[in-house]
Amino acid sequence: MSEALYENPDIYDIAYTEKVDEMIAEHYKNVFTGKDIETIHDCSFGTGNLSIVLARMGYKLSGSDISGDMLEKAGKKIKEEGLAIDLVQSDFRELTANVKNAYDCVMSTGNSLAHVNNADVVKAIYEMSKLVNENGYIYIDSRNWDKIRDTKQRFYYYPPFFRDGERINLVQVWDHNIDGTITFNFLYSFEKDNKILRHEEFAETYHPLSIELIVDSLHKLGFGNFEIHNFGNAKIHKFEDMQWYSIIARKLS
């Protein structure tokens, strides 16, 4: 039986490189430039791969996550870099019970909202909104579940990457379940000297969420000025061409 990927922070981190960090920084520069944002809270912090870069860019960053193991790994990275980032363990559906400050921007990164059902996504967005300063922002990034459901894509291949002399290959196989959920099977193989040394298998089941659900939820909470950006390649502008996207909206007074 496959393990859960998010219970294995070392494997979760294995594909992140300096090149990925540079791409993420460029994305945030594109999205946040011109917006009055100084303080940011990421309620899906994980090991920090998608938000620690913001602290390096000069933003005052804090984070929360449901997983203590992921936060422990994040804390080690933060200490190694000498950064000041406050972390707290919290389910994003119970955010206001554990996080008391308000922020210029509250984020959910890493496709995290899809881990819960759509009703809980609405609840999480409500919780996020309660922590947003007047005229502040909510930022969410997500896989393009609309595209995935429309195309029924099953196989997703990553370019091979290298760590400690090993070639690492990753293939995802997506099972479209009868109840509407989609199970991602993560298949890793580790090679050296043209021999497969070992392999790892993980599985995560997601609840696809439409962009309409996000927009409608934010609109009902008084957010507007919506912007949608392709995540990772700013040259892609058509939503139907995006594999992964971010949406940012401003709280209107």
Mean of the per-residue pLDDT values of the chain: 92
Question: Residue 222 has what pLDDT?
Answer: 97
More confident residue, 42 or 196: 42
Do 191 and 227 have their domain in common?
no
Give pLDDT tens digits for 123-132.
999 999 999 9
pLDDT at 11 over 70: no
Do 94 and 109 have their domain in common?
yes
Do 165 and 101 have their domain in common?
no
Tell me, yes or no, whether 3 lies in a domain.
Answer: no
pLDDT at 165 over 90: no
Tell me, yes or no, whether 107 lies in a domain.
Answer: yes
Cα separation, 202 vs 63, in Å, equals: 25
Do 218 and 130 have their domain in common?
yes
Do 218 and 164 have their domain in common?
no
Q: Tell me the residue range of the domain where 158 lies.
A: 148-206
Q: What CATH number is attached to the domain comprising 159?
A: 2.20.25
Written in H, E and C, the secondary structure of 160-175 is CEEECCEEEEEEEEEE
Do 115 and 215 have their domain in common?
yes
pLDDT at 158 over 90: no
Q: What CATH number is attached to the domain comprising 225?
A: 3.40.50.150
Give pLDDT tens digits for 200-241.
899 999 999 999 999 999 999 999 999 999 998 889 999 999
> How much is the pTM?
0.93
Q: What are phi and psi of 230, to 5 degrees?
A: -65, 140
Identify the burial level of 233 via C-beta atoms within 10 angstroms of its C-beta, where 0-12 means exposed, 13-18 middle and 19 or more buried.
Answer: middle
